[in-house]
Each structure stands twice: as structure tokens, then as C-alpha cells.
């Protein structure tokens, strides 16, 4: 039965309170692993709400950041609506706005919950790969060979433009972080460092900390400098700085098709935890 009281419109900053109330219903909410909260994206393009007789009952946010990649930052709905009903209304408007204006755009999601994955697959999303989680086992730790030609130092705010460029070169258009994301990551970091060779930044790492331990959130090396052990040096420095060999937990995640990263981490003593998160993708060419 069609609910004639439902209407989709763009989200506005003044919707924050109502959207926050929906997000509180955690079982009906998908949130992206992000440097911004879902509410901090209010005011950006591709942020929609579903109203029922003037009350917000669902929201969907997938702003493009980086350009041409619209990660689904938030999907949430009220308990009295089915996920499919809320998603279908919001997704129909969202894709009609994104793809005609930018046929090269991609909408993507790192899926945390099975019910959300089911909705995406029903809507024409396809499975791209999995994000796998690894954790350092101190008994397996293998120290890095020191290279006196490589200097490690703290990352400074003046480095962020160059770090963003390295991030793009290392990860490409789909996975790279924008300058805004790098700035936010730096401000939220527990420990962030760069590697220099002959005065030029060749690599970097940004890590976060919590009560559960330390997480290596980002590690990037210039393509022309890869294979020289720079990433290994950065991770080894983090291991010692964080105290991971004594009491702290150190984790990292990466794509299951990133053989170079997996080889680096596993060589240093990281092991897969068995946890993984599917990455689903929708492009203009597969609109139903």
C-alpha cells in the first residue's frame, strides 16, 4: 500500500534535531566510518530526508567526497517504517539527482549490517571487495630494518596539502581522501608522522586512539618510493610509540585485494581477525 503522506526533500541544517533522534535508533541506522559525523554533512549535496505529514521519518546522505564518489554516510529510518519503504523513496530521488548530472559518478558503501546490504543488493548495487581487519600479535612482531636515508618526523599542519597529494597518488580516485578529510583526520589523530628523503615527503601515517587501543587509519607512500620499506618504517615507529608490544592493541584495515598492504602488515606480525566489511558499488551504467 502506498503511503501518500510520505514526501522526500533536501535536508536542511535545522533538521539536525529530528535526524539525531532517528540516528539514536541504532538498529535502523547505517553510518559510514568517517572523519565527520553524519550531522556534520548537513548542508552538503545529496542529503535527503523523508517526511511523513511534516515529520522526518528517514534520512539518506551520500555527498561526493572525493569528487565523483558518493559514499553513503547515513541511512536511517523510524521503526514504524520498513527499511525497504524508506530506502526506496529516498534512493529513487537520490539516483535521479546524481547520475544524470554526473554519469561518471559512483555511489558506494562500506556495509556494517546485513539488513542494509540486502537493501543495496535489491537496488542494483554490486559487491566490489571486502575490507578486512588485522591486529598486531606481539609474539609475531618483526622489526623493520632502519634506513638512515629516511627521516621520520611528526606531521605538521603545513604538510597537509602535500600529504593529500600523496594520498591521491597512492590510492587513486576511488579511495583517496580529500584535503578536508585529511585535515579532519590530522586534527583527530592520536599520532601522525611523515617520512622524508632528501627533504621531500615520501610517505605518511595517521593513527587514532581510543579506550580499545590504537588504529592505523591511513598509511600512504608515493608510488615512485614504494618498495623501499618506507611504509614498514612508519608502521614500526607507530608500534613503538603506541606501546603495542606491551599492553596496547594496534589494528588496521585494508582492502582484501591490496596484496602489497597485506604483505607489509602480515610480515610485521599483523594477523587477520576474521572480521570483514563488504564494499558495495552502484554506477550509472547499472541503474535498473
Q: What is the pLDDT of residues 30-73, one digit of tens each?
A: 999 999 999 999 999 999 999 999 999 999 999 999 889 999 99
Instruction: Work out the percent of the chain whose per-residue pLDDT is above 70.
Output: 97
161 domain-assigned? yes
Cell numbers linked to 70: 558518493
80 domain-assigned? yes
pLDDT at 20 over 90: yes
Please tell me whether residues 65 and 147 are part of one structural domain: no
The CATH number of the domain where 256 resides is what?
A: 3.40.630.30
1 domain-assigned? no
Residues 6+ apart with CB under 8 A from 154: 192, 193, 194
Q: Cα–Cα distance between 68 and 223 in angstroms, integer?
A: 23
The pTM for the full model equals: 0.91
Could you say which of 63, 98, 123 is where a domain stops? 123
Please tell me whether residues 117 and 141 are part of one structural domain: no
Q: Encode 87-109: b = buried (16+ Cβ within 10 Å), e = exposed.
A: bebbbebbbeebbeeeeebbbbb
Strands 69-71 and 106-110: parallel
DSSP per-residue codes, 194-229: EEEETTEEEEEEEEEEETTEEEEEEEEE-GGGTTSS
Q: Cα–Cα distance between 91 and 97 in angstroms, integer?
A: 10
Cell numbers linked to 213: 587501543
Identify whether the C-beta of residue 148 lies closer than 8 Å to the C-beta of residue 185.
no
Cell numbers linked to 28: 535502523
Q: How confident is the model at residue 3 (pLDDT cuts 50, 70, 90)?
A: low
Residue 94, domain extent: 6-123
Please tell me whether residues 209 and 145 are part of one structural domain: yes
Q: How confident is the model at residue 232 (pLDDT cuts 50, 70, 90)?
A: very high
Please tell me whether residues 142 and 238 are part of one structural domain: yes
Please tell me whether residues 119 and 137 are part of one structural domain: no
230 domain-assigned? yes
pLDDT at residue 286 in the model: 47
103 domain-assigned? yes
pLDDT at 287 over 50: no
pLDDT at 2 over 60: no
286 domain-assigned? no
Please tell me whether residues 142 and 83 are part of one structural domain: no
- How many structural domains comprise the chain? 2
Please tell me whether residues 144 and 264 are part of one structural domain: yes
287 domain-assigned? no
For helices 259-268 and 230-242, the axis angle rounded to 10 degrees is: 40
Q: Which residue in the block uniquely carries the three cell numbers 537496488? A: 123
Amino acid at each position: 500500500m502506498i503511503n501518500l503522506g510520505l514526501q522526500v526533500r533536501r535536508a536542511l541544517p535545522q533538521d539536525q534535531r529530528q535526524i539525531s533522534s532517528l540516528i539514536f535508533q541504532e538498529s535502523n541506522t547505517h553510518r559510514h566510518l568517517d572523519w565527520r559525523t553524519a550531522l556534520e554533512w548537513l548542508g552538503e549535496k545529496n542529503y535527503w530526508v523523508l517526511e511523513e505529514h511534516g515529520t522526518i521519518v528517514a534520512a539518506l546522505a551520500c555527498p561526493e567526497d572525493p569528487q565523483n564518489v558518493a559514499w553513503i554516510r547515513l541511512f536511517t529510518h523510524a521503526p514504524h517504517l520498513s527499511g525497504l519503504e524508506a530506502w526506496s523513496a529516498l534512493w529513487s530521488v537520490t539516483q535521479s539527482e546524481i547520475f544524470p548530472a554526473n554519469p561518471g559518478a559512483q555511489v558506494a558503501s562500506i556495509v556494517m549490517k546485513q539488513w542494509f546490504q540486502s537493501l543495496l543488493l535489491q537496488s542494483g548495487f554490486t559487491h566490489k571487495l571486502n575490507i578486512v581487519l588485522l591486529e598486531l600479535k606481539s609474539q609475531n612482531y618483526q622489526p623493520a630494518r632502519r634506513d638512515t636515508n629516511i627521516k621520520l618526523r611528526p606531521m605538521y599542519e603545513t604538510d597537509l596539502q602535500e600529504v593529500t597529494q600523496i594520498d591521491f597518488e597512492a590510492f587513486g580516485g576511488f579511495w583517496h581522501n580529500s584535503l578536508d578529510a585529511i585535515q579532519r583526520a590530522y586534527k583527530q589523530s592520536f599520532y601522525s608522522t611523515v617520512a622524508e628523503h632528501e627533504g621531500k615527503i615520501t610517505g605518511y601515517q595517521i593513527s587514532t586512539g581510543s579506550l580499545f587501543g590504537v588504529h592505523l587509519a591511513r598509511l600512504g607512500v608515493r608510488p615512485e618510493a614504494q618498495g623501499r620499506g618506507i611504509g614498514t618504517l612508519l608502521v614500526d615507529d607507530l608500534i613503538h610509540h603506541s606501546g603495542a608490544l606491551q599492553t596496547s592493541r594496534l589494528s588496521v584495515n585494508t582492502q582484501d585485494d591490496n596484496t602489497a598492504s597485506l604483505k607489509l602488515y602480515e610480515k610485521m606480525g599483523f594477523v587477520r581477525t576474521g572480521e570483514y566489511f563488504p564494499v558495495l558499488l552502484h554506477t550509472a551504467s547499472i541503474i535498473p
